[in-house]
Amino acid sequence: MSSEDEREDERRKILAQIMELGKWKGIFQAQGPSPKEDLAEDEAVGTESEEPEAGAEQEQGASASPPVLDARCFLEASCVSSRNLQSAALGGEAIGLQTASELKKVLFGSPAIAFPLAWKKSRFLFREPRSPLGYALITDRAGARGVQMVVQAYIVKHLLFTAHGHDADDVQRLTSVSARDQSRALAEALADALCKSAGGGTTCVCLATPDDYVVGGGGDVVTPDEYCSDKVTETLRIFEFAEREDLLCFLKRHLSCFQDFGSHGAILFLYSALLSHGVGRVLSDCDHTASHLLQLHQGSYECTQALVNLLLTGQASPSVVNGDAGLGWDGEQQHRQGPQSRSEIGFLRWSREDREPETSRQVGSMLKTPRLPVWLCSVNGRLGVLFCGKRSLLSHWRTEHRFSLYYCSGSASQRGTVKLTLNTHSHQWEQGRWQEDGRTERTVPSLERLIHTRWGGTTVDWNGTEPFY
């Protein structure tokens, strides 16, 4: 037997042992914790030491023996961590081949495509508690970043406008977020996004189990030979909730399934949102103008606008214009279904690649003017969150004379929240200082250009922060 065969045999043995341990652990924990244990769990979630990210783990493991490192990488890519496997005794409905195939088809366009390793590593992990960015998630460079940043926007919304009263406007509290605050904010954010996706109907939550409910099964849509297994989709059990409070309680109890190393939390959340909305409704919302919700870009599957809109507005519309009207790339009137009403969180977009101001690519007022001053922003295709601590910003015109916005880029290099001071009543010479012929694109920071799509003619003070372009 070759060394490669020996390593493969070792991988299989380790995987089998972990799956067996997961089954027994799930059986013993099927009844769930007692009320005291549940409270202790809520307080303790997020306080554990942070697991190393993939890149750091590879650097630290460079001196380890090759067989051990291979086994760790194999297990991470192929299965859910045994700590996060849930027993079938918890209830819920097994996924089945047909549902698994429909989910993959609406995401990738085909059930023969599996989630890549980058998506399997993605989860919802916060930065250090009580730090300048203690409210911020550690996000990926690509892949599931779109899903993570939408959840980040809901986290900011909860911490600013839900957790501390109706009229609270103190952004400084974001620098004192504790581990317990982080856990509560994440549970609330996931619940908000799932309820929004459900559109007032039943919400769904997907959890992974040690069992495979797809391989070897039958179905009317595809055969097992046409289905590509990813060791996550096939293990799901689906839990339904009619009331938000029940959903929130369930998420708090199982928050580690979305946070922990090896949990595949981003995938579980994405599937939960799709099932909450319904695959059929997703296809209807897209109006056949978007073939699938994840698109391949530079070797990575990234979120489309339709998926972002689903999580923000509860409608998987592929456009950012208001309602059903819009212009095509050739200037002809086309049917492009967009958001029908204002949502709590808005969306702004600017890209240097958009050379012409095509109406079909301009964000409509439904997304520009949300009910709360929190915006998911796409700056040159990179997502971030822009927000203001004053709820009155969007309801009282006097507030918009001079105000501050804060920006979380989601970048690992960001060390603190960027504060921007806007003056919409600036002097004419200030408004035109960036408009010198031939220098506009080179001199105006991209984030300012994005802000101008919402507050045209305003001046932006970076308050000592080096502008990034």
How far apart CA 2 and CA 185 sit, in angstroms, is 51
pLDDT at 406 over 80: yes
In this structure, what token pair is assigned to residue 75?
């297990």
Provide CB contacts within 8 A for 380, sequence distance 6+. 350, 351, 352, 353, 446
The pLDDT of residue 182: 98
Beta strands in 310-466 (DSSP E): 325-327, 333-335, 346-350, 374-379, 382-387, 402-408, 418-423, 459-461
d(CA 395, CA 406): 19
CA trace torsion 256, 257, 262, 265 (10° rounding)? -110
CA–CA distance, 469 with 467 (Å, rounded to integer): 7
49 DSSP assignment: P
At residue 141, the pLDDT reads 87
Q: Is the pLDDT of residue 245 over 70?
A: yes
The per-residue pLDDT for 354 is: 74
3-state helix, strand, coil in the chain (%, to 5): 45, 15, 45
Confidence (pLDDT) at 465: 93
pLDDT at 20 over 80: no
The 10 Å Cβ neighbour count of residue 295 is 17
The answer to whether 385 touches 153, Cβ cutoff 8 Å, is: yes
Looking at the predicted structure, is the pLDDT value of residue 309 above 90? yes
CB 122 within 8 A of CB 148: yes
CB 274 within 8 A of CB 294: no
32 phi and psi angles, rounded to 5 deg:
80, 170
| pLDDT at 110 > cutoff 60 | yes
Question: pLDDT class for 270, splitting at 50, 70, 90?
Answer: very high
Find the DSSP H helices in 404-462.
428-431, 440-443, 446-452
Average pLDDT, stretch 309-325?
A: 87
Task: Evaluate if residue 77 carries a pLDDT over 80.
Answer: no
pLDDT given for residue 298 in this prediction: 87
SS3 (DSSP) at 458: coil
> What whole-number percentage of the chain has pLDDT above 90?
54
With left for phi above 0 and alpha for psi between -120 and 50, is residue 456 left, alpha or beta? beta
The whole-number pLDDT of residue 280 equals: 93
More confident residue, 152 or 63: 152
Query: Using alpha carbons only, what angle is made at residue 318 by residues 313 and 319, rounded to the nearest 5 degrees?
Result: 85
> What whole-number distance in Å separates Cα of residue 276 and Cα of residue 183?
22
Q: Model confidence at 407, in pLDDT bands (50, 70, 90)?
A: very high
* Three-state DSSP class for residue 353: coil
**Residue with more model confidence, 212 or 88:** 212
pLDDT of 322 strictly over 90: no
Q: Which DSSP letter does residue 63 get?
A: G
Which one is predicted more confidently, 56 or 271?
271
Contact criterion met (CB below 8 Å) for 339 and 317? yes
Give the residue with greater pLDDT, 285 vs 359. 285
Q: Which of these ranges, 178-192, 238-252, 414-428, has the smallest mean pLDDT? A: 414-428
With 90 as the cut, is the pLDDT of residue 312 above it?
yes
Quick one: pLDDT at residue 328? Answer: 43
Host H or E run for residue 240? strand 236-241
Asked if 372 contacts 157 with a C-beta cutoff of 8 angstroms, the reply is yes
Which among 137, 133, 121, 27 is positioned nearest to 80, based on CA atoms?
A: 121
User: What pLDDT does residue 352 have?
Assistant: 85
Question: What is the rounded average pLDDT for all residues in the chain?
Answer: 80
List Cβ neighbours of 268 (8 Å cut-off, separation of 6 or more). Answer: 205, 206, 207, 208, 232, 236, 257, 258
Do the Cβ atoms of 146 and 303 come closer than 8 Å?
yes
Taking the C-alpha atoms of residue 105 and residue 92, their distance in angstroms, rounded to an integer, is 23
Residue corresponding to tokens 């399997």: 120
Split at pLDDT 50, 70, 90, the class of 440 is: low
Determine how many CB atoms are found less than 10 A away from the CB of residue 363.
23
Residue-level pLDDT at 165 = 61
- Mean pLDDT for 357-362 is 57
Give the residue-averaged pLDDT of 293-313. 94
Decide which of 301 and 89 is more confident: 301
* Class of residue 74 by CB neighbours under 10 A (exposed 0-12, middle 13-18, buried 19+): middle
Question: Token digits for 436?
Answer: 């010198």
What was the pLDDT predicted at 11?
A: 65
Measured CA to CA in angstroms, residue 445 lies from 97, 350, 351 at distances of: 49, 11, 11
Distances (CA, A) of 387 to 148, 152, 394, 408: 17, 11, 12, 9
Instruction: Say yes or no to pLDDT of 58 above 60.
Output: no
126 contacts 263 by C-beta, under 8 angstroms: no
Residue 157 pLDDT greater than 90, yes or no: yes
Rounded to an integer, what distance in angstroms lies between the CA atom of residue 239 and that of residue 204?
A: 5
More confident residue, 34 or 313: 313
pLDDT at 442: 60
Residue 161, CA distances (Å) to 46, 154, 173, 417 in order: 22, 10, 11, 18
